[in-house]
Amino acid sequence: MPHGDTTGPFTKTEGWLDWYDGPSAPAFTLPEGAVDAHCHVFGPGAQFPYAPERKYTPCDASAEQLFALRDHLGFERNIIVQATCHGADNSALVDALNRSEGRARGVATVRRDVTDEQLKALHEAGVRGVRFNFVKRLVDRIPTDSLDEIVAKIAPLGWHVVIYFEAADLPELYDFFSSIPTDVVVDHMGRPDVTKDPNGPEFGLFLRFLRENPNVWTKVSCPERLSVTGPRALPEEIPNGEHIMYSDVVPFARRVVEEFPDRVLWGTDWPHPNLKDHMPDDGLLVDYIPQIATTAERQRKLLVDNPRRLYWND
């Protein structure tokens, strides 16, 4: 059942897919202390207006709704990532962090003129990173010029940098990304084209990027965004009746989890901005995890140890 929520005084982008209300209970039991390391809040627009420069107007998705999902799925904590529809106004993010009772950390968007006082206030609210978006459809300007300046301001706070880019752009950006001195987290494995060979040159370059830069981590999230075949398995791909979801993404994500078990994170990406094709049931998305992290140890690192080390210094 789609949520069908309103979006305050705003009109949703035409064709917008609302997040799914009433997700199923996952069959996979998350390890104790699991962190949903990539999710967003949208507005509510009446209280936290969407940014004038936004590229989409979403369906509202509040902090309360996010925390209800967290509890339903069995996560203990969240990493809330500033969504581009809020620009560099982090008010909705900070409000959500303040209501989380210490169970959420944040990744903000800031401009190059951000002051040390503003950064200190964000730190106190629980922000531990800044996101730079290199996906052209989501921003007016690719932030190459502001990144160095902002990194110089956030590095003393021990924050990291989150980068979002598409695989086709990695060759051009490889040296620039390799020069970032802080920890770096890549969203959604750098958006591989999953119709290509996971052992081929394009994904090979991403694996090389991780191998050559021990400060680089990645989220192995968003199969629903990367998949071409979709959530259902083809009958011939179901060994012993086992249901495989997003089977075209699995070899990419599993490869990364197996080679870099200490530098991977996973998140739902709720409320799933800009999906065009289908809106996932978040309960079923959790059931995807054991397909890519196939042992209890890998699952614990992916869901508990890694995010807690990066965001809570545990």
The sheet with strand 184-186 has its strands ordered as: 35-39, 77-81, 104-108, 127-133, 160-164, 184-186, 216-219, 264-265
Segment lying near ligand 0GY (by CB under 6 A), choices 194-202, 208-216, 266-274, 276-284: 266-274
Enumerate residues 6+ apart whose C-beta is below 8 A from 130.
107, 108, 109, 110, 150, 154, 159, 161, 162
Structure tokens at 45: 């627009």
C-beta of residue 271 within 8 angstroms of C-beta of residue 68: no
Report, in Å, the least distance between residue 84 CB and ligand 0GY: 3
C-beta of residue 31 within 8 angstroms of C-beta of residue 296: yes
> Which one of residues 49, 244, 274, 281 is an interface residue with ligand 0GY (CB under 6 A)?
274
> Which one of residues 5, 187, 224, 282 is an interface residue with ligand 0GY (CB under 6 A)?
187
Q: Please identify, using beta-carbon distances, which residue of 67 and 270 lies nearer to ligand 0GY.
A: 270
Among 36, 269, 282, 305, which one carries the catalytic annotation?
Answer: 269
Enumerate residues 6+ apart whose C-beta is below 8 A from 60.
5, 6, 7, 8, 42, 43, 44, 45
Segment lying near ligand 0GY (by CB under 6 A), choices 89-97, 114-122, 145-153, 269-277: 269-277
> Does 84 engage in binding with ligand 0GY (CB under 6 A)?
yes
Residue among 11, 3, 7 at smallest CA distance from 59: 7
Per-residue binding string, ligand 0GY, 212-241, x by CB under 6 A, is -------------x----------------
> Which one of residues 183, 224, 248, 269 is an interface residue with ligand 0GY (CB under 6 A)?
269
Question: Hey, what amino acid is at 16?
Answer: W
Q: Please identify, using beta-carbon distances, which residue of 237 and 274 lies nearer to ligand 0GY.
A: 274
> Does 138 engage in binding with ligand 0GY (CB under 6 A)?
yes
Radius of gyration of the chain (CA): 18
Enumerate residues 6+ apart whose C-beta is below 8 A from 19.
2, 3, 59, 61, 270, 271, 272, 279
Q: Please identify, using beta-carbon distances, which residue of 1 and 276 lies nearer to ligand 0GY.
A: 276
> Does 273 engage in binding with ligand 0GY (CB under 6 A)?
yes
Report, in Å, the least distance between residue 239 CB and ligand 0GY: 31
3-state secondary structure of 93: helix
Q: Is 140 a catalytic residue?
A: no
Report, in Å, the least distance between residue 86 CB and ligand 0GY: 8
Q: Please identify, using beta-carbon distances, which residue of 13 and 258 lies nearer to ligand 0GY.
A: 13
Q: Which helix (H) or strand (E) holds 77?
A: strand 77-81
Segment lying near ligand 0GY (by CB under 6 A), choices 78-86, 93-101, 153-161, 234-242: 78-86
Positions annotated as catalytic residues are: 269
Which residues lie near ligand 0GY (CB under 6 A)? 83-85, 138, 187, 225, 269, 273-274
